[in-house]
Amino acid sequence: MLVSKEDFAKYPFIIGAVDYVKRLDLKTDELSQPEFSAIVTRAEARIEEALLDGIIKWESRLGYEIELLSYPVAIIFVSNIADNYLKKRYALAESKRIQALLKEDVDEKLTEIAISIFGWKVKRLPLEIYQPFDFSLSFIDYLRNAPNFHDFRWKLVNKHLINGEVFLQKDEFSRLISEEVRKHIEKTINTSPKVELNPLLLQRIEHIKQRLNIRKERIRIKEQPRNIISAAYPPCIKNFYDYLISGQHISHVGRFTLTSFLLNAGMEIEKLIKLYTPISDFNQRLTRYQVEHIAGVRGSGTKYTPPSCETLKTHRLCPGPDELCSRIKHPLAYYRRKIRMIKK
């Protein structure tokens, strides 16, 4: 089904497209030759669109061949620049292009990509009976990507789940495939072998790097304030904190949340350990171990961040959102934003 050059250009990650490019057996050295300059230019444009617009355009008017071949070239460039921000941004922008195309494509192509490339269990639904749904996807495959989306409509609890299958509309299914594609492209970039590029191509890469640096400068996140402002605690943290001060029991997840929150907000380890003194089962040595573990001083060296709002809800530790909560997804995001509001 997915055999035309148009399909290859639209979905350059599918096996047919990859094989087609392989058979051409192009060498990176050849890319600096004039007959390939349209391809290299389009590859550069792809990356630029990713940086500036966050989505790559579908440029069918250049011809399918150029559109298809510029994809692996762009991957070589991105992988060569080896910047994590760019890698992620590029994969996302490609996946958005693909999502838009999938939405408009025929149903069979969506199922074919899902089944043959990703091995998903999916069925097309006869329209009359299952309206408004178009596809049913195994919940296992649904959960590969849906938890990455934060809107409530993606929660499994808000979906029709029947006998292990999640019922989906076409735009939803396109979104799930494109998320899998995003991960697939990221992996392709990260596993792409390092190639030597000639000076002409390196010049192009220099140009992209400059654009990248301008972009990164603009989004540079300001350092967090280091003194703790308790008035900016979100309701959940305020609760845990009050419990702690009054010596009441806090669940394990609750303690972890509070500890990692305060550490990330900049509290010193010693001060934090002292804070735990009122708890009846206080054990200085164990507390020190746990706090230092969360701080990343011990063990694996990972510095932990508190769980997201959604995880706290799952553990029934969200005391109920306030107005600001509805606009954030993480206790630390609440804290940062509240500080900005207080300072104003």
Partner 1 sequence: MKNPRKFIIQKFSEYYRDNANKIPLPTSYKKREFGFILSDKGIMLRHKAFSEPRFFRDFIKLITPSDVYHSAAYYKHPSREMGKKEWIGADLIFDIDFDHISTPCTEEHEYWTCELCDQAGVGKQPSVCSQCGGSKFKMVAWLCETCLETAKSEALKLIEFLVNDFGFPPQDVEVCFSGHRGYHIHVERDEIKQLDQNARKEIVDYVQGTGLKVSLHGLMQVSRKMGQKIIGPDLNDPGWSGKIARGVYDIIVTYNLQQLKEINGINKNIASLIFSQREKILKAWNTGTPWGSIKGVGIKTWEKLVETSVVNQAVSIDTVVTIDIHRLIRMPLTLHGKTGLKVVSIPSKSLERFDPLRDAVAFNEGTLKVYILAAHRFRIGKEIYGPYERETVKLPMAAAIYLLCKRAALLTD
Using CB under 8 A as the criterion, which residues of the chain lie in contact with partner 1 when the complex forms? 138-140, 143-144, 146-148, 152-153, 155-165, 252-253, 300, 310-311, 313-316
Q: Based on CB atoms, which residue is closest to partner 1, 283 or 314?
A: 314
Residue of 337, 282, 333, 329 whose CA lies nearest to 309: 329
Smallest separation, CB 165 to partner 1 (Å)? 7
Q: Based on CB atoms, which residue is closest to partner 1, 37 or 314?
A: 314
Cβ atoms of 275 and 246 closer than 8 Å: no
Q: Based on CB atoms, which residue is closest to partner 1, 138 or 192?
A: 138
Sign of CA dihedral 113, 115, 120, 126: positive
Smallest separation, CB 146 to partner 1 (Å)? 7
**79 Cβ contact list (under 8 Å, min separation 6):** 87, 189, 190, 192, 194
Q: Based on CB atoms, which residue is closest to partner 1, 64 or 304?
A: 304
Q: Which residue is it, tokens 């939803």?
A: 172
Smallest separation, CB 228 to partner 1 (Å)? 28
Strand-pairing partners, residue 166, are 137, 161
Catalogue the E-assigned strands of 97-212: 122-124, 135-138, 161-162, 165-168
Smallest separation, CB 325 to partner 1 (Å)? 14
Smallest separation, CB 308 to partner 1 (Å)? 10
Cβ atoms of 199 and 31 closer than 8 Å: no
Helix (H, G, I), strand (E, B) or coil at 87: helix
Q: Based on CB atoms, which residue is closest to partner 1, 38 or 161?
A: 161
Smallest separation, CB 257 to partner 1 (Å)? 13
Smallest separation, CB 156 to partner 1 (Å)? 4
Cβ atoms of 269 and 293 closer than 8 Å: no
Q: Based on CB atoms, which residue is closest to partner 1, 36 or 130?
A: 130
Helix (H, G, I), strand (E, B) or coil at 321: coil
Q: Based on CB atoms, which residue is closest to partner 1, 155 or 216?
A: 155
Rounded to the nearest 5°, which phi and psi values hold at 135?
-135, 155
Helix (H, G, I), strand (E, B) or coil at 127: helix
Cα-Cα-Cα-Cα torsion 170, 172, 173, 178, nearest 10 degrees, comes to: 120
The two tokens of residue 74 are: 């762009």
